[in-house]
Amino acid sequence: MRLAPFIVDVRCLSAMKFSLPGQLRGSECRRVISQAVVLRRRLESWFAELPTEPICQLGIILRIDGSLGSFGPPGVENFSLINGELECDLVVRDHDWAQRSDDEINEILSREVLTAIASCLSQSKIEYDHDDLQKLLTMDT
Residue pLDDT, tens place only, 1-24: 444 443 344 456 567 889 999 999
Q: Determine the Cα–Cα distance for residues 21 and 109; give it in Å rounded to an integer.
A: 13
Full pLDDT tens readout for the chain, 141 residues? 444 443 344 456 567 889 999 999 999 999 999 999 999 998 988 888 877 777 888 999 999 999 999 999 999 999 998 888 999 999 999 999 999 999 999 999 999 999 999 888 887 777 777 777 777 666 554
Q: Determine the Cα–Cα distance for residues 39 and 141; give it in Å rounded to an integer.
A: 9
Q: Determine the Cα–Cα distance for residues 84 and 52; give it in Å rounded to an integer.
A: 8
Q: What is the pLDDT of residue 1?
A: 42
Q: What is the pLDDT of residue 122?
A: 83
Report pLDDT digits (tens) over 100-116. Answer: 999 999 999 999 999 99
Q: Which distant-in-sequence residues (6+ apart) come within 8 Å of 112 by Cβ?
A: 90, 92
**pTM, whole model, 2 decimals?**
0.83
